[in-house]
Amino acid sequence: MEQKLAQLKTLLGEAADLYQIEALLGWDQQVNMPPGSAESRGQQMATLGALAHDKGTAPEIGKLLEELLPWAESLDHDGEEYRLVTVSAKDYDKATRVPSSFVAEASPVIAMAHQAWAKARAESDFSIFQPHLEKVLDLKKRYIAFFPPADHPYDTLLDDFEPGMKTADVKTIFDTLRPQQVELIKAIAAQPQVDDSFMHLDYDEQKQWEFGVKVATAFGYDWNRGRQDKSTHPFTTSFGMDDVRITTRVYKNQFATALFGTMHETGHALYEQGIGHAWARTPLAASTSLAVHESQSRMWENLVGRALPFWEHFYPELQATFPEQLGKVSLENFYKGINKVQPSLIRVEADEATYNLHIMLRLELEIALIEGSLAVKDLPEAWNAKFKDYLGLTPPNDAKGVLQDIHWSGGMVGYFSTYALGNLISAQLWEKFKTINPEIDAQMRQGDFSNLLSWLRIKIHQHGRKYEPQELVQRVTGSKIDPVPYVRYLKDKYSAIYGL
């Protein structure tokens, strides 16, 4: 069986190579590619996608898995061989349900949708994107039909990003979380607001970039195996654990965007760079789920990057970098300003207390689109109505409303709930880490994040997809995904800031 396992790894590795080359084209599409190349790039990605799909669903792989599964069942179920075979078998079953012709058909649709979204967002005109989104959703509904009926059609899409999670599970978690966050927001709104006017002054863009690089370096990002570029929407992508790239965007008068965006993407990249090399070129060489991935980015962005001990170390340097803007702003006022709670239009710039409401809104809209109870043409109106209901704001235009996120243009329907779930996991992990390393605040005051990164490497990163997300979270924290630690974290933090 060892020989068959080696054969399986070889075939899986060839498929992984093709998928990573396709991802490289996708990175270039968002970072470097001229706008007029969308159609030809879509054709290239369609060809590669079909080749990768064919390679990954080759009958030889199916035959090897059929022979290896009984053998794997006899092994330690916590062992590497068992996990590799069983995860590969699940992936193979899902992939073989989807014809390569469908994969080839979808790639150019997605490529054109991305370009249309970028244009629509720039012009704040949803009608440009509407026909492309209709095609994307049609593809998603056809994709769902390839699989056995689930409790809810959205379950099939959710499982691609959060294995094992059901739509009903997410709704239950959100139903518990929503009223507590709303109560907290109301309590904060009744207090005097903090001043964050210094965040909206003009900051030199190159200096913003350089400071973000310093922070990413301090966190532990390996620049020998990564790089940072600019893109319309920040993202992290990996072509293997030794080539993990991040992007950010920089605005002269929105200082927080680049700084915290870089922290966020660095958190994602640290996860990818920390996956065990034993999993290279196998299906396990990836994160266990999008929520666990998001727990890493949100932890480094918020629980570390917006914490007072972090800025006790970094603020003097930031003041020295921007003396005109921050020279007269005290550390206390700076800390309060970067943690200001106020309902806002843009999800990626939302504060911690209101962020999850953005996600709940998107989840409800996605479910309605998949169920067919909401037509794409009515999406902007529905978006604005829910935004008013959830956050008390009405977007002034499509760019700051329904067009602000890139995900639907990339076919990532079923994705959004993972952002909020990631917030919850980040707080669970943080609580657990602090019981093991209560000196973390003192370490951050020294600019030392090595203990935190080492713990995450051991507990989360190295395992890749070895464990399903709920299993991994329970192994590390003692419970499955739970909103209680996150609510506790928010209440403790903002009670101190706002005097609740």
- DSSP state string for 49-75: HHHHHHHHT-HHHHHHHHHHHHHHHTS
49-69 average pLDDT score: 93
Closest CA to 19 of 229, 247, 294, 286: 286
Q: Considering the domain delimited by 167-498, tell me its CATH architecture.
A: Orthogonal Bundle (1.10)
β-strands 226-230, 244-248 pairing: parallel
Average model confidence (pLDDT) for the chain?
94
pLDDT for residue 103: 84
Q: What is the pLDDT of residue 429?
A: 98
pTM for this prediction: 0.90
Quote the CA–CA distance of 245 and 386 in Å, as a whole number. 35
**Average confidence (pLDDT) over 346-356:** 90
CA gyration radius for the chain? 23
pLDDT in tens, 288-305: 999 999 999 999 999 999
Distance of alpha carbon 465 from alpha carbon 57, whole angstroms: 19
Quick check: is 265 catalytic?
A: yes
Q: Which of 36-50, 321-335, 457-471, 482-496 shows the lowest mean pLDDT across its residues?
A: 36-50
Task: Give the residue carrying structure tokens 């399903």.
Answer: 468
Amino acid (one-letter) located at 271: Y
pLDDT band at 168 (very low <50, low <70, confident <90, very high): very high
243 neighbors 226 (Cβ within 8 angstroms): yes
Nearest to 69, CA basis, from 82, 58, 51? 82
As a whole number, mean pLDDT of residues 333-338 equals 97
Spatial CA neighbour of 140 closest among 96, 106, 100: 106
Query: Phi/psi at 415 (nearest 5 deg)?
Result: -95, -35
Domain map of the chain by residue range? Answer: 2-135, 167-498
Q: Residue 373, SS3?
A: coil
The two tokens of residue 326 are 């921050």
Where residue 498 falls (left for φ over 0; alpha for ψ -120 to 50; beta otherwise) is: alpha
Q: How far apart are CA 155 and CA 234, in angstroms?
A: 27
Q: Which residues contact 208 (CB under 8 A, 6 or more apart)?
A: 250, 255, 258, 259
| Positive or negative: CA dihedral 476, 481, 484, 486 | positive
| Residue 49 pLDDT class (50, 70, 90 cuts) | confident
DSSP labels, 380-425 = HHHHHHHHHHHHS---SSSTTTTTS-SGGGGT-TT-THHHHHHHHH
The two three-digit tokens of residue 196, written as one number: 């964050």
Catalytic residue among 265, 294, 301, 468: 265
Nearest Cα to Cα of residue 117 among 136, 103, 135, 130: 130
> Could you tell me which residues come within 8 angstroms of residue 330 by beta carbon, excluding any fewer than 6 positions away?
none
DSSP letters, 301-325, are: IIIITTSHHHHHHHHHHHHHHSHHH
